[in-house]
Structure 1
């Protein structure tokens, strides 16, 4: 089983992150024959803004098509905002699993009231759009934020003092959510998730703090296994109607950024 893991950070700007992500992905796989390969986006997602999300989404969709053509069995969007997720699923037949969606859905099995703490307040409206799209407004009851840019929080990799600062800021923002009844916490991003992975059984006020990276990996493996067994994947009715081949080719050939 070969899985493409699409990071929105490139190695040039996030070497510390990639060096920790590689072994973490390998440890996350359930099946001994699973091969996970990380691919980045350049320029990387360095600023929290919808325009950046859409720019990265276009490259991600192109990469999903490339992954399928190169024989990958599944594609993971390793970025919590999941920009371009539905469009990618409408462009390929291999399973496309997204970090944000996978984590939120798994959290629903661990508690009734879920809270998200993202790295930057500008992500909050985007998260509320995601929550509504996934039909989880009654389950995800709070979204709060720290105050980092994606590029800034990368500096905590390899710096224990900065990592501890991020953890303390996360827990401070999570505290009001816990007081309000939240029973599961999600760090809103792959970068803080991996940073917090070093804290085994990370909890805040008895609420588990989810690391969605292994969840997404295992869901991708499960999706591939189920497709092999049943022949079924996403519905081709509604949001995931498959785009005609000429439309996909037109999308791939159009100059990026235009």
Structure 2
């Protein structure tokens, strides 16, 4: 049995139960799923400042998760905050995140993909991440809904209407062949959008969770996991102890 932890990096637990319910419906039979959120802090991460404040807490949760024998952790925000940092501080646990998983999958399913985002302000950071992932040339466009994160669930019929409009525009005008829902709070909408545009629509919660399951299997069967040669090399334990960073609080 594998254990996977989904981390909602928000100072609210209102999304924990619906996300866990969704994950239980798609998980492999031998996968245990747990969902946690932060004890305090911002309830959305649209601003980089909010993101910077929660990364240390996310890293603490991840270190504790490995100590508790989890096989994988997923950082549940499309910004993929702290993704590379997290891979540095674990020894054998898999770390996944929504944007990376969704982009790699989309690049396999079609030549170009478009991302449906909440507001324009999130686009520069997402594009920067795709550049780091080596996949910027696969982006056909970003399409903004003109909605805040919490607005996505406030009126779901209006959210779906706007996503349909932007997805169709991306297919017809930008030559996108795949659509990525660029916020984890767009969960549960993909089927209706997919049927409407007749093209793959990727739910970032599903893609990152299944990616994590896949990476766990690769680790267990073939010993393939995050390389510790350069980018994900862990800090020396002696330094962590010296700086007072080793103990998990």
TM-score scaled by structure 2?
A: 0.89
Contact 2:98 2:204 in 1 (8 A): yes
* Distance in 1, Cα, partners of 2:160 & 2:103: 20
* Distance in 1, Cα, partners of 2:203 & 2:148: 20
Report what 2:168 is aligned to: 175
Shift in alpha-carbon separation, 1:68–1:212, aligned structure 2, 3 A: same
Q: Please, what is the CA RMSD of the aligned residues?
A: 2.1
Report what 1:234 is aligned to: 226
After TM superposition, the structure 1 = structure 2 runs for residues 184-203 of structure 1, keeping only pairs within 5 Å, are: 184-192=178-186, 194-197=187-190, 199-200=191-192, 202-203=194-195
* Distance in 2, Cα, partners of 1:65 & 1:56: 15
How far did 1:45 drift?
Answer: 3.9
* Distance in 2, Cα, partners of 1:184 & 1:208: 5
Q: Greater shift after overlay, 215-224 or 59-68?
A: 215-224
Say if 2:32 is the partner of 1:2: no
Answer 1 or 2: higher relative contact order, Cα 8 Å, separation at least 6.
1
Report what 2:72 is aligned to: 74
1:49 to 25, 47, 50: 47
Contact 1:45 1:150 in 2 (8 A): no
Q: Greater shift after overlay, 166-175 or 69-78?
A: 166-175
Q: What is the number of residues matched between the two proteins?
A: 242
Report what 2:215 is aligned to: 223
Contact 1:116 1:187 in 2 (8 A): yes
* Structure 2 alignment gaps of length 5 or more: none
How far did 1:253 drift?
Answer: 7.1
* Structure 1 alignment gaps of length 5 or more: 156-161
